[in-house]
Amino acid sequence: MTSDHEIRVCVPLNEKSFSALTAAAKSASHVADIIEFRLDGLDPNELSDTKVNDLVHAIQKSIILTYRPREQGGYRSLTIQDRMSFWQRNFKSDAAFFDIELDLVHNLVHLDSENQPDWSRVICSFHDFNGSVANLEAVYEELAFTPARILKIAVTATDILDCVDVFKLNERARREGRELIAIVMGDAGVATRVLGPSYGSFLTYAALKPATGTAPGQLTTDDLKSVYRIHEIDNETMITGLVGRPVMHSVSPHMHNAAFQAVHINGVYLPFDVRNVEQFFKRMVHPRTRELNWNLRGLSVTAPHKVEVMNYLDWIDPSAKAIGAVNTIVLENEQLLGYNTDCEGLVEPLLKRVGALDDARVAVIGAGGAANAAVYALREQKAEVTLYARDESKGRILAERFNILYEALSNANFAGKDVVINTTPLGSFGDHINETPATSQQLRGSRLVYDLVYNPTETLLLREARDAGCETLGGLEMLVAQARQQFKFWTQSNVSSELI
């Protein structure tokens, strides 16, 4: 079944001059269904009503005009009189839509009819950049009470759970025959940007380039169209995604979405930035309790949630139980099934590099979910494993579970080790990018250093390892190997290593 709703991608443009706006609009016209001109971003001496209409006529696309005050996400300090004056002069323009904030709409409705806008072209908008809003239903009803044709609500996510009420509003608007744009801003709101139109949202926003976004969490047009294939998403699309915090650095959406396209499956893979795991599973995931009517099929799980998710599953594979961590969830017959594909993913590229691991002396750094999987997999391969961890209590507990040696990481010396494996986030994109769990001095005398961090591909640890004369192996090969297994669990389809 295809979606009964048109999918529209709007590209907002913010430039300081009309010439720059015109150039950007010509680029955007190749990828946008609608273009929004953020006129509040123009230098004040550039703002000319004649230029506004000339710009609208120059672009063969539907145009939204916006003139937003700073406190509502705009780029200039504007009084309500400034905004009223601007709109009174520009309601005669040939733009398809005028995005007007709710507070100003309250003023406009009291004017004489000849001074009011054509309400069939008005988007009445509400923005909140301070976090979740307590009662979005009340905001929706206040917007709906105005004569505006299209309603818009954009709120800021503090957690992915903020998406629930926004998806519900889209469903309500569809039932009531209202046109609504509903967006959750921020990393935790990405799902509303990708799935919103298939839920009935009038449009979704995307930036022309990463640096030109006009709101937190805004994806690029290339992301929406090429990675997530937004124009192919409908009510039956199989939804999968990555549960973690943070998740926006992950390359998993690129891999899994490419795989869906390659095997011609109507599916999409999304990043889910989750803070409250228990409530996420209750309100958004478990078929018996979730509040969303969506075709959720499976989830990948990454740090820091691989252990906690086990509390909310109906069944866990025995090997995942033995590992003590789950990285793959399948929804089947209204049950949540937990697996761990990290073991196979970790071992596959390692065996290609070193051959058999029988009696190999392996150091594992870390004591989290990935360390559990690494130790389990290495023990299955008959390796001789020693664990090193910053957190001594966690390290000793894990070592006792698997009956392996434990040593403190602070003064570790890895000379004589065949393999040193980093399972910690040290070196990963973000706050940890300039950190390493071991120095070249500590690594000197070991054969191979295997960093499970895959973004960036060149971590500080790998550079230290090369300085120490070690062979190196990055985490991307493991990511690909475990992802192939996940994809097979969800779809019963095999994909080649070139695709995922």
Domain-by-domain residue ranges, the chain? 9-234, 242-341, 343-480
Lowest-confidence pick of 22-31, 86-95, 209-218, 445-454:
209-218
pLDDT at 140: 97
CATH of 9-234, one of 3.20.20.70, 3.40.50.1390, 3.30.540.10, 3.80.10.10: 3.20.20.70
Residues forming beta bridges with residue 100, ordered by sequence position? 124
DSSP state letters, 134-170: S-HHHHHHHHHTSS-SEEEEEEE-SSTTHHHHHHHHH
pLDDT at 499: 58
Confidence label for 134 from pLDDT (cuts 50, 70 and 90): confident
Confidence label for 246 from pLDDT (cuts 50, 70 and 90): confident
Confidence label for 213 from pLDDT (cuts 50, 70 and 90): confident
d(CA 446, CA 140): 62
Average pLDDT, the chain: 93
pLDDT at 31: 95
d(CA 437, CA 466): 15
* Cβ 15 vs Cβ 24: under 8 Å: yes
Name every residue whose Cβ is closer than 8 Å to that of residue 366 and which is 6 or more positions away in sequence.
374, 388, 389, 422, 423, 424, 437
DSSP state letters, 423-454: -SSTTSSSTTTT--SS-HHHHTT-SEEEE---
d(CA 406, CA 69): 59
Q: Is the pLDDT of residue 3 over 50?
A: no
Q: Is the pLDDT of residue 169 over 90?
A: yes
Q: Is the pLDDT of residue 239 over 90?
A: yes
Q: Is the pLDDT of residue 266 over 80?
A: yes
Catalytic residues: 306
d(CA 121, CA 221): 24
- Check for a shared fold between 9-234 and 343-480: no
Q: pLDDT tens digits for 478-493?
A: 999 999 999 999 999 8
CATH of 242-341, one of 3.90.1200.10, 3.40.50.10860, 3.30.2320.80, 3.40.718.10: 3.40.50.10860
Residues 425-451, mean pLDDT to the nearest whole number: 95
Q: Is the pLDDT of residue 451 over 90?
A: yes
Confidence label for 4 from pLDDT (cuts 50, 70 and 90): low
Q: pLDDT tens digits for 183-198?
A: 999 999 999 999 999 9
- The pair of three-digit structure tokens given for residue 10, joined into one six-digit string: 């709007």
Confidence label for 216 from pLDDT (cuts 50, 70 and 90): confident
- The pair of three-digit structure tokens given for residue 146, joined into one six-digit string: 């105005």
Confidence label for 261 from pLDDT (cuts 50, 70 and 90): very high
DSSP state letters, 56-111: HHHSSSEEEEE--BGGGT-SB---HHHHHHHHHHHTTS--SEEEEEHHHHHHHTTS
d(CA 413, CA 407): 10
Q: Which residues of 241-262 are buried (b: 16+ CB within 10 A; e: fewer)?
A: bbbbbbbbebebbebbbbbbee
Q: What's 311's DSSP letter?
A: G
* Cβ 97 vs Cβ 64: under 8 Å: yes
* Cβ 256 vs Cβ 269: under 8 Å: yes
Q: Is the pLDDT of residue 56 over 50?
A: yes
pLDDT above 70: percentage of residues in the chain: 98
pTM of the model: 0.89
pLDDT at 2: 40
- The pair of three-digit structure tokens given for residue 355, joined into one six-digit string: 């051959």
Confidence label for 6 from pLDDT (cuts 50, 70 and 90): confident
Cis, bond preceding 287 (omega within 30 deg of 0): no
Q: pLDDT tens digits for 293-303?
A: 999 999 999 98
Q: pLDDT tens digits for 41-52?
A: 999 888 887 888
pLDDT above 90: percentage of residues in the chain: 84
Residues 359-364, mean pLDDT to the nearest whole number: 97
pLDDT at 1: 32
CATH of 343-480, one of 3.40.50.11540, 3.40.50.720, 3.40.309.10, 3.40.1000.10: 3.40.50.720
> CA dihedral defined by 262, 493, 372, 427, rounded to 10 degrees?
0
Q: pLDDT tens digits for 306-361?
A: 999 999 999 999 999 999 889 999 999 999 999 999 999 999 999 999 999 999 99
Residues 426-452, mean pLDDT to the nearest whole number: 95
